[in-house]
Structure 1
Amino acid sequence: MTRLAFAGLLGCAFTLQAQSQSQSQSQDSVRLRFAWPSGLVAQVESNKTRMREVDGQPPARSVASYSHVMRAARQGQQYTIAFSDLRLDPKGLAALPPPQQALMRVLTQAALPGYLVSADGDFVALDKPEAFQEAMRSALSPLLPDGPGKAASLAALDKLLGVEVLSAAVRGDWDWLVGSWAGGEQAIDLGEDYVAQTQGVAPLINQAIAYETHFKVTRRLPCDREGRTLECIELKASTRPDSAALKQAVAGIVAQLAPEAAAGMEKTLSTLDLLVELELVTEPDTLVPHRSRLTKTTVLPGLQGQPSNRQVEETVQTFRYEAGR
């Protein structure tokens, strides 16, 4: 997800809304702002479910559960977000093929890449990712097949583990959880639908295209942080790229990589689709998250006689804050 701050996504949403109707005068509204307390510590429980359906084959489903500790410390105008104590569910680990088991065990020993964010909630940069990069490189390099193509595979691996690619992935996670909703000056009416047109880099094709994002604050609900009962909100959002722009970008890439497959591409790409949906429970006056459900649905058409496939990846995270951690 691209950066969707109030100056961007929410600012666009309010502009579009004002063009169609006057702003509601509802008393039930909220303002979202980023104000994490320094020293914030959370025990984070994550469950990731991936379902893949390929034409002519039975669905394949995998589940991974893991936990880690997140710490946030403010220094001047920046926060350092650090992670430690990554633990994997042994049941889920046992169900994985041996190569993946080995990889996941290496991950538990790696220093998860922390990052820096500004006092306004903007992602700034990764914080010393070298340990994570080296652990991943050591784990993945032996899995590459030997042969004349291994040098190219190692180069591709280095690119995949490069700071630019890792930063984009981490930034996306942060923006969905916090960054997209930070810096608000406008009040958001509960139950009101907002729509915004934005620009973002689509996964897989690495090109900037237009997105349409819908979001709304659905309700208020109680939440707990360090033994105190606070008021949270539930926010729901969904975004998908402009269909025509996405298909044009993919067709251009296919024409470069496989010119023989370019003919008839328009019909083949008719089912291409990317959709991301979010359900987030967070504190409106700090954006300290308590629960998130992020669902990514990708539908890829078959090329050159290959079957089409549909993949749904759902990640649910819960954040528990305890006094004295």
Structure 2
Amino acid sequence: MSRLTRVISSLALAGLLAHCATPSGSGGAVSGDTVALRFAWPLGLTVQVASTSTVTQKDQPPEFSSLTYQLRLEGLGEERKLLTEQMIPTTIGTPLDEGPPPPMPTLVLGPKGELRRTEGIDKVVEEMAQQAEIQGIPKEQQAQITGLVHDALEQAARSRWEVLVGKWSGLALKPGEATERKSQTAVPLFGSVAATRERVLLKERVPCTEGETEKRCVRLVLESSLDPDKLDHATDELLRKLKSVMKANMAVPDEALPELTVMKIRVDSTLEFIAEPETLVPYSQRTVTNSHVIIQEPEGERKNFELQSERLERFTPAAR
């Protein structure tokens, strides 16, 4: 497997392309049993992460993968840097001669956890460009490939911030009461962005880990589905992304690409998160996604893409 291919496959293995670009909630007055959620990771915090994923495509046997990595928060004046380090695939049968996965971008955060920018993407993209040139890929096709890599890394970085911080920080929720809002998600297999409607629920207070008796954490649930009022835009974006991938793979001009039609697009997702409400230090995250896309080809053939995925991440914060 080439390093160009492994960039995308490593992102998929890490499960980093599931969500993106949702606005954070706004804080409000806290009273009664309302729980305020805010980002307050202590500087220097290190979190070990064990991630397992199961992906099933239509009529195919399920594929299993696993990964371990480390999250570390560094301080820099009014900024914080959240680093993803030591990414090691632990799936049985993973080849050992392909080298380590590409480094994940660094998230640069403000003191309240707001995402200010990402760092490290340009370096990885430059390495990909050098690999493409060594392989003799034409210049125009190189630009298409590196553009896709850049977008995938940016999307993965922002997704990592969203599921840990952006979707929760600033919300004030009562147990059993839901908050509804609009957001966006990435369409599995295609990587295009589509508008969604989300429902966020604080279910209950729970122990942070098995064996604990004190209920220091909360169980948060986020349910997401495509916004029915913006499906036309979702299909347009999917086709645009698909054409970009086809151009990168086949190096053909726009006029030579087939006229495809999206007949159906559906993405439903449930994200369950267990974390400390006063810090958002994580302990467990489970994401289940069901997607279905049907594409009509010019010759009359329909391509049916059905995907079910489940990712479980267990976080072990270092003693603090």
Name the structure 1 match of 2:164.
177
2:300 maps to 1:315: no
Name the structure 1 match of 2:16.
none
Structure 2 CA distance for aligned equivalents of residues 136 and 252 of structure 1: 25
Q: How many residue pairs get matched?
A: 282
Structure 1 CA distance for aligned equivalents of residues 129 and 175 of structure 2: 47
Partner of 1:48: helix, strand, or coil? strand
Superposed, which structure 2 residues align to 1:136-147 within 5 Å?
Answer: none
2:282 maps to 1:289: yes
Superposed, which structure 2 residues align to 1:219-258 within 5 Å?
Answer: 219-223=204-208, 231-250=216-235
Q: 1:83 to 1:210 in 2, by over 3 A?
A: closer
2:203 maps to 1:218: yes
Superposed, which structure 2 residues align to 1:14-33 within 5 Å?
Answer: 27-33=32-38
Cα deviation, residue 200, structure 1: 3.3
Q: Which amino acid aligns with 1:78?
A: E
8 Å CA contact 2:174–2:202 kept in 1: the answer is: yes
Structure 2 CA distance for aligned equivalents of residues 260 and 150 of structure 1: 21
Specify which of 293, 299, 303 is matched with residue 300 of structure 1.
Answer: 293
Partner of 1:240: helix, strand, or coil? strand
Structure 2 CA distance for aligned equivalents of residues 179 and 199 of structure 1: 11
Name the structure 2 match of 1:119.
111
Cα deviation, residue 221, structure 1: 1.1
Partner of 2:40: helix, strand, or coil? coil
8 Å CA contact 2:67–2:91 kept in 1: the answer is: no
2:154 maps to 1:167: yes
Q: Which runs of 5+ in 2 are unaligned?
A: 1-19, 244-253
Q: Which amino acid aligns with 1:216?
A: L
Cα deviation, residue 244, structure 1: 4.3
Name the structure 1 match of 2:40.
35
Query: Larger Cα Rg: Structure 1 or Structure 2?
Result: 1
Cα deviation, residue 113, structure 1: 2.1
8 Å CA contact 1:4–1:181 kept in 2: the answer is: no
Q: Which amino acid aligns with 1:125?
A: R
8 Å CA contact 2:192–2:237 kept in 1: the answer is: no
Structure 2 CA distance for aligned equivalents of residues 48 and 136 of structure 1: 26
Structure 1 CA distance for aligned equivalents of residues 238 and 72 of structure 2: 41
Cα deviation, residue 137, structure 1: 5.2
Q: Which string of whole-angstrom CA distances, capped at 9 and with x for unpartnered residues, describes residues 184-237 of structure 1?
A: 4xx3110112222x2536544856x6421111011111125xx99670001000
Q: Which string of whole-angstrom CA distances, capped at 9 and with x for unpartnered residues, describes residues 30-87 of structure 1?
A: 110111100100111111222111xxxx324221111112110122221111122222
Q: Which amino acid aligns with 1:85?
A: Q
Name the structure 2 match of 1:274.
267
Structure 2 CA distance for aligned equivalents of residues 205 and 87 of structure 1: 23
Q: 1:312 to 1:102 in 2, by over 3 A?
A: farther
Give TM-score, length-normalised by structure 2.
Answer: 0.74
Cα deviation, residue 171, structure 1: 0.8
Name the structure 2 match of 1:200.
184
Name the structure 1 match of 2:24.
5
**Structure in which a larger fraction of residues adopt helix:** 1
Q: 1:250 to 1:154 in 2, by over 3 A?
A: same
Name the structure 2 match of 1:21.
none
Structure 1 CA distance for aligned equivalents of residues 113 and 160 of structure 2: 13
8 Å CA contact 1:125–1:167 kept in 2: the answer is: no
2:145 maps to 1:157: yes
Cα deviation, residue 154, structure 1: 1.8
Give TM-score, length-normalised by structure 1.
Answer: 0.73
Partner of 1:190: helix, strand, or coil? coil
Structure 2 CA distance for aligned equivalents of residues 123 and 218 of structure 1: 27
Structure 1 CA distance for aligned equivalents of residues 132 and 214 of structure 2: 45
RMSD (Å), alpha carbons: 3.5
8 Å CA contact 1:177–1:292 kept in 2: the answer is: no
8 Å CA contact 1:26–1:189 kept in 2: the answer is: no
